[in-house]
Structure 1
Amino acid sequence: MAKAYWVAAYRSVSNPDALAAYAKIGGPAIIAAGGKFLVRGIPTAVYEAGQTERTVVIEFESVAQAQAAHDSADYQAALALLGDGAVRDIRIVEGF
């Protein structure tokens, strides 16, 4: 079974306090669901249409595990705290 990667690219952050509240419980919820943070921060370089905004990459054992983490009650509680405090693009991609 191929690993899966949850990739989050933040387009903008309008409420840093909401982002901090989200991260406080969202990170632990993802880890508890089997996620391993590989990348978390601002890019050191961007090309083409890239944006210098926060990027997060999380590794999971499978696509199903990544989806279950996202859909879990604990992670959904974190999303409720984030609200409209950030605009993000989240993708789950299967590795090879």
Structure 2
Amino acid sequence: MSAYWINTYLEISDAEKVAAYAALAGPAITAAGGRFLARGVAEVAYESGRLERSVVIEFDSVEAARAAHDSPAYQEALAVLDGGAVRDLRIVPGA
């Protein structure tokens, strides 16, 4: 069953750190089998939604998404982010 890595940026305090993170995170995620489906600032938000940067990545399974997150390459990207943003990251199984 597929799984979706959903990440929203609640606050960005250091755009340079976010850019450095993205340069490392993208290749780490795709090398682990992730497929970027959407990334960017929301065009429209309803109900309690916020116009914030969001990223949706598809994996073949929850286990594959967790392995990508826990991989040394992605952990290196997180170390570079180093407080440059407040994010909400979740992995959701597909329907």
Normalising to structure 2: TM-score of the pair? Answer: 0.98
The size of the alignment, in residue pairs, is 95
Task: Provide the residue aligned with 1:92 in structure 2.
Answer: 91
Q: CA deviation at 1:73?
A: 0.3
Local SS of the residue matching 1:79? helix
Which contiguous aligned blocks of 4+ residues in structure 1 show a shift greater than 3 angstroms?
Answer: none
**Residue type matched to 1:46 in 2?**
A
1:61 aligns with 2:64: no
**Where do residues 24-63 of structure 1 align in structure 2 (5 Å cutoff)?**
24-63=23-62
Q: Deviations over 1:37-93 (max 9, x none)?
A: 000000010012211110000000000000000000000000000011000000100
Q: CA deviation at 1:32?
A: 0.1
Local SS of the residue matching 1:6? strand
Task: Provide the residue aligned with 1:4 in structure 2.
Answer: 3
Local SS of the residue matching 1:68? helix
Local SS of the residue matching 2:63? helix
**Residue type matched to 1:53 in 2?**
E
Unaligned runs of 5+ in 2: none
Task: Provide the residue aligned with 1:71 in structure 2.
Answer: 70
Q: Percent identity?
A: 57
